[in-house]
Amino acid sequence: MNLFKKKIIPEQSTGISFTKKRIRWDDFFAEKIIKGVAFLSIAIIVLIFFFVFRESVPIFTSNSKADKAKADSSKVNIAPVSKTEKQETYGAESNDSSPKQEQYGVTTEDKDQKQEQYGVTTEEPQKQEQYGVQTNDEPKQEQYGVQTAEDTTDKLANKEIKTENPSVETKTEDNNKNALATLKSKDWQPVSDNPRYGILPLLIGTLKVTLISILFAGPLAILAALYTAVFANKRMKEIIKPAIEMLAGFPSVVIGFFALMVIASVLQSVFHYSSRLNAFVGGIAMGLAAIPVIFTIAEDAISSVPKTYYEASLALGANKWQTAFFVMLPAATPGIFAALLLGIGRVFGETMIALMATGNAALMGLNPFESVRTLAATIGAEMAEVVFGDTHYNVLFLIGSMLFIFTFALNAFAEFYVKGHLIKRIQGK
Amino acid sequence: MIKNRKIDIKGFVIEGLTLSSALFIIAIIIFMLVVIINGGKSAFSWEFLSTFPREGMTKGGIFPAIYGTALLVIIMSIAAVPFGTITAIYLTEYAKENSFLSRSIRFAVRTLAVIPSIIFGLFGLGFFIKFVGVKMDNVFLGGALKWGQPNVLWASLTMALLTLPVVIVAVEEALKTIPRELREASLALGATKWQTIRRVVIPGSLSGIMTGTILAVSRGAGEVAPILFTGAAYYLATLPHALSDQFMVLGYHIYVMTTQSANVDQTLPIQFGTTCVLLLLTFTLNIFAIILRYRIRKKKIN
Report the alpha-carbon distance of residue A380 to residue A252 in Å, rounded.
14
Task: Please report the pLDDT score of residue A278 as a whole number.
Answer: 84
- What is the Cβ-side half-sphere exposure of residue B40, based on CA atoms within 13 angstroms? 25
Q: Got the DSSP string for A269-331?
A: HHH--S-SS-HHHHHHHHHHHHHHHHHHHHHHHHHTS-HHHHHHHHHTT--HHHHIIIIIHHH
Q: Do A55 and B117 touch (CB under 8 A)?
A: no
Domain boundaries, chain B: 63-250
Q: Which residue of B has its CA nearest to A402?
A: B119
CA distance A132 to chain B (A): 34
On chain A, the residues whose CB falls within 8 A of the CB of B192 are 24, 26-27
**Beta-carbon separation of B283 and A223 below 8 A:** no
pLDDT of residue B77: 93
In which element (H, E) is residue A197 found? strand A196-197
Name which of B20, B94, B111 to mutate to probe chain A: the one with the most chain A Cβ atoms within 10 A of its Cβ: B111
Contact B118 A231 (CB under 8 A): no
The arrangement of secondary structure in B63-250, i.e. its CATH architecture, is Orthogonal Bundle (1.10)
Q: Does B300 touch chain A (CB under 8 A)?
A: no
Q: What is the mean pLDDT of each run of 10 residues along chain B (302 residues)?
A: 63 88 93 89 81 76 88 92 92 85 88 90 89 87 79 92 92 88 90 88 88 91 88 82 86 86 78 89 88 79 62
pLDDT at A369: 83
Amino acid symbol at A374: T
What are the start-end ranges of the H helices in A77-199? 79-92, 99-107, 111-120, 123-134, 138-153, 155-168, 175-182
Region of poorest pLDDT, from A134-148, A208-222, B166-180, B218-232: A134-148
Angle at A215 between CA A209 and CA A216, to 5 degrees: 90
Residue B134 pLDDT = 87
Chain B residues touching A221 at Cβ < 8 A:
25
Taking the CA of residue A149 and the nearest CA in chain B, the distance in Å comes to 23
The pLDDT of residue A75 is 42
* Rg, Å, chain A Cα set: 29
Kindly indicate the confidence band of residue A137, based on its pLDDT and cuts at 50, 70 and 90.
Answer: very low
Supply angle C-alpha A405, A408, A413, rounded to 5: 120
pLDDT of residue A70: 45
- Read off the pTM: 0.78
Compute the nearest-CA separation of A183 from chain B (Å): 20
- Percentages helix, strand, coil for chain A (3-state, rounded to 5) are 75, 0, 25
Rounded Cα–Cα distance for residues A226 and A241 (Å): 11
Q: What domains are defined for chain A?
A: 59-184 (no CATH), 200-426 (1.10.3720.10)
Mean pLDDT of chain A: 71
Average of per-residue pLDDT across A126-137: 37
What is the tens place of the pLDDT at every residue in A249-268?
899 999 999 998 888 888 88
For the segment A369-384, what is each residue's pLDDT rounded down to a tens digit? 888 888 888 888 888 7
Q: Is the pLDDT of residue A246 over 70?
A: yes
A379: nearest CB among B122, B192, B251: B122
- Please give the Cα distance from B278 to B282 (Å, whole number): 6
Shortest CA distance to A88 belongs to which of A144, A160, A162, A164? A164
> Which amino acid, one-letter code, is at B241?
H
**What is each CA distance from B48 to A279, A297, A315, B69, B97, in whole angstroms?**
35, 40, 63, 16, 52
Chain B residues in contact with A376 (beta carbon < 8 A): 116, 118, 225
Label residue A139 by pLDDT band (50, 70, 90): very low
Q: What type of residue is A253?
A: V
What number is the average pLDDT over the span A96-124? 38
| pLDDT score of A174 | 53
**Most confident segment among A92-96, A314-318, A412-416:** A314-318
Mean pLDDT over residues A30-47, rounded? 88
Chain centroid to CA A190: how far? 19
Q: Average pLDDT in the A77-104 region?
A: 37
**pLDDT higher for B3 or A330?**
A330
Neighbours of A55 (CB within 10 A): 25
Contact at 8 Å (CB) between A382 and A210? no
Phi, psi of B54 (to 5 degrees): -125, 160
Does B21 contact A223 at a Cβ distance shorter than 8 Å? yes
Predicted local distance difference test score (pLDDT) of residue A116: 38
Say yes or no for a CB contact (<8 Å) between B118 and A1: no
| Strand (E) or helix (H) holding B60 | strand B59-60
ipTM: 0.90
pLDDT cut 70: percent of chain A above it: 64
Long-range CB contact pairs, A313-319, < 8 A, 24+: A319/B8, A319/B11
Q: Chain A contact for B247, CB < 8 A?
A: no
Whether A372 and A279 have beta carbons less than 8 Å apart is answered as: yes
Taking the CA atoms of chain B, what radius of gyration do you get in angstroms? Answer: 24
- Residue B54 host element (H or E): strand B53-54
pLDDT at A414 over 70: yes
In Å, what is the CA distance from A393 to each residue of A62, A174, A354, A390, B131?
16, 15, 20, 5, 15
Answer whether A190's CB lies under 8 Å from A90's CB: no
B158 interface with A at CB cutoff 8 Å:
no
Cβ of A38 and B161 within 8 Å? no
Mean pLDDT over A175-184 rounds to 63
Phi/psi zone of residue B239: left (φ > 0), alpha (ψ -120 to 50 degrees), beta? beta
Residues of B with Cβ-Cβ distance to A380 under 8 angstroms? 118, 121, 225, 228
Mean pLDDT of A123-128: 39
